[in-house]
Amino acid sequence: MRLVSVSPQRPADVVLDVRATEAGEAFRVVEKARVAGRSWARGPAADRAAGLTAMAEAVAGNRRELAGLVVREVGKPIGEALGEVDRTVAILRYYAQQCFDPYGETYPGAGGLSFTVHRPRGVAALITPWNFPLAIPVWKAAPALAFGNAVVIKPSPDATACALRLAELFAPLLPAGLCTVLPGLGETGAALVDSADLVSFTGSGEVGRQVAVAAAARGIPAQCEMGGLSASIVLPDADLDRAAGHIAAAAMGFAGQKCTATKRVLVVGDAAPFEEALLARIGGLGFGDPAEEGVAVGPVISEAARRRVLDAADGSGGRVHTAGKPPGEGWFAAPTVVAGLAPDAPLNTEEVFGPICTLTSVSDVDSAVRLANATSYGLVTALYTNDLAAAMSYVDECASGMVKVNAPTSGVDFHLPFGGEKDSGYGGREQGKAALRFYTSPRTVQLA
């Protein structure tokens, strides 16, 4: 079976046409990785740090080329694509230093010594999405490698060219078989879950639940990040212009194709002034060819994704505001705000991965928080207010893995734990110091 990746802004441009990896081949790659991982884990931390540092330098040295490939394959605007390359470099450098971090604890004993150490789990299967085609594979692979594991990456079919280019850059810098990218479809991913020692997944809720169940059946750790329907709450005393700028970018940047994108805006009190400010800010976002400087909203990833956005707006029953005219070629959907919907309307309860959000007026903050929590998702909540005490009083009420105050829902700091509650996440947090707990297993040692 062939795997074909095309450019969403120019669908006639075939970026990659490659054979999909069969299940049997995936099993063999995992076994090879397991052998390579044993030597890697036994080696000194300095060797692992040097390998990750060299990987960072390889990415930095190909910055423009990699950003151009991201633009071409997934339609990410060039400014964001360059930022993603820089972030990928920073992630690798961060985890290169974590190779030297102390880990483990000592405990009081009756005349002896009791302590814990952490050992790598083995081969990490990393199943990654298309929307961050460099950063997400690396923010999973870097800690896995830093802590002594081998990795096998199965990228989204829509971002396989980006992942394969990373593999080409990394191959001369690491032992053979330690870090492998497998082009593939669902069969390939299932084979990795059936053979690896742990699995980290980012993607849809439907597939993430399948991954979690399959991993549990084998008794291996699984970590699944499965999207969001994040809300931004605007309190009456908020700086409206600042909030509007943040929310416009968080909802529509990269055509709203981020799990942390703002999908629901809840305004406490009269929403009319904020609605006007938000629409003005959205109208000022560049919309068009993602290769052009100043463009913030490019295409969505596929024709099916475009149709979902258009159908959601057309069938919403609310007041629909669109900004900009889509170019004639490619899978473009204009930035869209839908106002006046009921709390249980589909757009307020189901994720549409595109440049569309809802705007709702609520009577008080308690009602806003209740509505923000009233979905099966729980990734990010943003609160906009000039009253810090009020904001902190609501932080504990937000049923989400992350809460931001006067900051956009989108954007993730790689040194902080990342993950969601409810249907947004399963199996623990990613990134930062939390990564050690997933990619290693603690061992208790007692000396009498």
Q: Which positions are annotated as active-site residues?
A: 225, 259
Structure token digits, residue 299: 């295409």
Identity (one letter) of the amino acid at 23? A
Contact 317, 345 (CB under 8 A): yes
Strands 377-378 and 421-422: antiparallel
Burial 294-314 (b: 16+ CB within 10 A, else e): ebbbbbbbbeebbebbbebbe
CB burial class (10 A; 0-12, 13-18, 19+) of residue 369? buried
Alpha-carbon separation of residue 1 from 7, 18, 183, 185, 353 (angstroms)? 20, 9, 11, 9, 27
- Among residues 309, 300, 251, 307, the alpha carbon closest in space to that of 275 is found at 251
Task: Give the C-alpha separation, 115 to 22, whole Å.
Answer: 44
Task: Give the C-alpha separation, 10 to 6, whole Å.
Answer: 8
Q: How many CB atoms are located within 10 Å of the residue 240 CB?
A: 17
- Among residues 225, 227, 237, the alpha carbon closest in space to that of 383 is found at 237
Task: Give the C-alpha separation, 300 to 76, whole Å.
Answer: 9
Contact 168, 143 (CB under 8 A): no
- Among residues 164, 163, 87, the alpha carbon closest in space to that of 129 is found at 163
Q: What is the largest CA-CA distance in the chain?
A: 78
